Amino acid sequence: MSRFKDLRLARGLTQGRLAKELGTSQQTISRIEFKDEMVPTDILIKASKFYNVSVDFILGLTDEKHNNVCQERLHQYLVEHENLMLEYAALKPEYRAVVNSIVRTLSELQEAEA
């Protein structure tokens, strides 16, 4: 299931981190990615919500990442966080790198606490 793996890698996630996000085990993620095992329905739905893409996209049934529900969710997120995104975009590249590093560190700390 290459799209499943591609989505994880695009987010810079380990299999373990994704497993925690989706409420499953690292072994399940590994089997899905490397043995082309069927994705359990509950994991598929959680992954769709987590990545904000359609289930059909994850399954390779379409190249359209978003269906109408996903597009609406994405639009709401963009509206809610517009000011923050504009401020981030206005930062110098080196300051964005610092912000990215801080966010990664906080995510790792949160993961360690879970």
Write the burial class of residue 46 (CB in 10 Å: 0-12 exposed, 13-18 middle, 19+ buried).
Answer: middle
Looking at residue 34, its amino acid is F
Residue 56 lies in a domain: yes
Question: How many structural domains are present in the chain?
Answer: 1
Residue 94 lies in a domain: no
Residue 103 lies in a domain: no
**Lowest-confidence pick of 37-46, 53-62, 71-80, 93-102:** 71-80
Residues 87 and 70: their CA atoms lie apart, in Å, by 25
pLDDT at 113: 86
Residue 108 lies in a domain: no
Task: Specify the CATH number for the domain of residue 37.
Answer: 1.10.260.40
- Confidence tier at 37 by pLDDT (50, 70, 90): low
Residue 75 lies in a domain: yes
Cα distances (Å, whole numbers) of residue 108 to 9, 19, 57, 98, 105: 16, 14, 28, 15, 5
pLDDT digits (tens, 9 = 90+) for 44-70: 989 998 998 888 888 888 887 776 776
pLDDT at 110 over 90: no
Range of the domain at 47: 2-80
pTM above 0.75, yes or no: no
Residue 113 lies in a domain: no
Output phi, psi for 91, to 5 deg. Answer: -70, 150
